[in-house]
Chains A and B, each alone.
Chain A
Amino acid sequence: GAGVSQSPSNKVTEKGKDVELRCDPISGHTALYWYRQSLGQGLEFLIYFQGNSAPDKSGLPSDRFSAERTGGSVSTLTIQRTQQEDSAVYLCASSHRGTAEPSSYNSPLHFGNGTRLTVT
């Protein structure tokens, strides 16, 4: 079946420009995550969408970053006035269930191949 799709796969932009990164989650997955991974580093949580609930934006590094998820499916991560430190791979993941069930099995996160953003 189709996995998580991200576009573009690579994006080179000039400092100060805005960029939009797109994520198409697996059909039926209610939870959607955005992470950022700098070269050789770990995954930095950015934002989490769960169904129709208000997103958890606690990981967004600045107000230049925003994300939306339309119709509970496709998500767009927007970075305004890009800076060189924004250069990284932006990974999107989706999972089947997003409700907190502390003692239950939680569905794994399925990742896309990421968008490699380079700010020159």
Chain B
Amino acid sequence: GQQVMQIPQYQHVQEGEDFTTYCNSSTTLSNIQWYKQRPGGHPVFLIQLVKSGEVKKQKRLTFQFGEAKKNSSLHITATQTTDVGTYFCAGPFTSGTYKYIFGTGTRLKVLA
């Protein structure tokens, strides 16, 4: 099936280090959503970006939507062990639909 690439696939960081995951699409997106899935859990919505160049912050998390609306990033400052999980971007990668396709995900492990 259709997939959207996220990089890196895995990331191990020491607690306190920063972390960034990138989401790339070949098509322009009307919006993009980010989800977090804890080990053994289900994806939980974090945030949505709609505007070109939009930047949103949630405490230590910073989300950005590219100017061309084809890529997005999630940056976590000073990671904590509670940040462990897999982060997915998701968007209507088929133009004009509400069919949400999820990125391949980035699995974050935080070492105490």
Contact = CB atoms under 8 A, between A and B. Distances in A.
Contacts of B99: 45, 48, 56, 58
B3 A42 contact: yes
Main secondary structure of the interface of B (DSSP, over half): loop
A22 B45 CA distance: 22
B103 interface: yes
A12 interface: no
A105 B1 contact: no
B73 interface: no
Contacts, number: 79
B2 A45 contact: yes
A100 B43 contact: no
Interface residues of B, number: 29
B33 A112 contact: no
A111 B90 CA distance: 13
B78 interface: no
Interface in A28-64: 31, 33, 35, 40, 42-45, 48, 50, 56, 58-59, 61
Nearest to B2: A45
